[in-house]
Structure 1
Amino acid sequence: MHAAVRELESEVGREALTVPLVATRAGVTPSTIYRRWGDLQELLSDVAVERLRPDTEPEDRGDLRSDLEAWAEQFFEEMASPAGRAYIRDALLGDPDGGNAGQCSAYAAEQIDVVLARAAGRGERAPAVETVLDRVVAPVMYRILFRPDKLDAAYARRLVTGLLDPADR
């Protein structure tokens, strides 16, 4: 199903997608999609969550600040891109119970945990995963969704600086 959605999106555009069109491409009946996903928006949400899954571990640059800045910048750039915004929108619109939003949050938490575990392994003092989510990820997502004007990757780096500044701990 996911492959059918991705192929059709690139061929006919998202606006032209319908359950019967996706079902035909996937070689199933529309009722199969309705039984599994309920409607097109829930299917698009499921596809978006899969696309928001990171492909690789965060880069290891040798110290917590560099690792976290690089991760935050990459996270920002991916989420703030037109494709990232569309995936965020789809993930949330077809998510009546919040499960997809929770999965997206878990992806970010897993990536952050890798960065923090590396830092701890090097003997660096690191904040908790939830603290990074609250002080870096949440503001980035808020700004992307509600105040995207004049937003750039430097914003994500400033959030990391504020998080790691000993005066702010």
Structure 2
Amino acid sequence: MSTTTPSKRTGGRSAAVIHSVRTAVEELVKEKGSERVTVPMIAERAGVNPTSIYRRWGDLPTLLNDIATYHLDPDRPLAERGDLRDDLTDWAGGIVTHFRKPVNAALLRGGAGAAGERTSDCLRNRRTEATQLLARHPETAVTEDDVMDVVIAPIINRVIFQPWTLGDTTADDMVARLFRAGAGTADESPARRAESGDTP
């Protein structure tokens, strides 16, 4: 299943189609909920042929996943405050803010909720961003897996299953838990320490 997000450089007719489809999806999800939206319904609202949607996105879950995450531009500047904990908190906070919007949460539930990490732009792009943030702090023992397991996975789990639990302190709480699990120590990663129960 292809989940390639359409390029930002796309122009002309293709760009117009993408915009129309994205707008149609967002409107329909707001009106009906993601579970009631179909490709023919989207095509009719967008004024395009259903085959154009299938050709570009492959299937409905892939389309919904793309729409849910495209506002989170993977090329956007990431916080650079000189401290890993602050950088991760700002980054996670932006993700929480995005998915606190009901339409974005509904889209993610309908799209990425049906896909694994290998096929989800949401998780693949978040892992790439985590790698970029950690590269600024080579002294830390924190890994991409730590960030995904301790910060991102709980956020996405809440978005999909308990969106009402996302709050102003969610990002701070997740990052604080990462560091309580031993972030920055050279001998063992935070995720491994959390699993073993050896948490300070």
TM-score range, shorter chain: 0.7 to 0.9
> Pick from 167, 171, 179: which aligns with 1:164?
179
C-alpha separation in 2, matches of 1:133 and 1:98? 11
> What SS does the aligned partner of 2:132 have?
helix
C-alpha separation in 2, matches of 1:144 and 1:13? 19
> Pick from 169, 174, 185: which aligns with 1:154?
169
Would the alpha carbon gap of residues 83 and 128 (structure 1) be closer, same or farther in structure 2, given more than 3 Å must change?
Answer: same
Is structure 2 residue 135 aligned with structure 1 residue 117?
yes
1:71 match: 91
1:130 match: 145
Would the alpha carbon gap of residues 147 and 63 (structure 1) be closer, same or farther in structure 2, given more than 3 Å must change?
Answer: same
What is the letter of the counterpart of residue 147 of structure 2? Answer: V
Is structure 2 residue 125 aligned with structure 1 residue 107?
yes
Which consecutive residues of structure 2, in runs of 5 or more, have no partner in the other structure? 1-16, 183-197
For the 8 Å contact 2:130–2:144, the answer to whether it is kept is yes
Would the alpha carbon gap of residues 40 and 75 (structure 1) be closer, same or farther in structure 2, given more than 3 Å must change?
Answer: closer
Would the alpha carbon gap of residues 150 and 5 (structure 1) be closer, same or farther in structure 2, given more than 3 Å must change?
Answer: same
Q: CA deviation at 1:60?
A: 0.5
RMSD: 3.1
What is the letter of the counterpart of residue 164 of structure 2? Answer: D
For the 8 Å contact 1:64–1:126, the answer to whether it is kept is no
Question: Identity over the aligned pairs, expressed in percent?
Answer: 31
Q: Which has the higher helix share?
A: 1
Q: How many residues align?
A: 160
User: CA offsets per residue over residues 70-92 of structure 1, 9 Å max, x none?
Assistant: 11111111122213202312323
Would the alpha carbon gap of residues 151 and 104 (structure 1) be closer, same or farther in structure 2, given more than 3 Å must change?
Answer: closer
Which consecutive residues of structure 1, in runs of 5 or more, have no partner in the other structure? none
C-alpha separation in 2, matches of 1:158 and 1:59? 18
For the 8 Å contact 1:45–1:100, the answer to whether it is kept is no
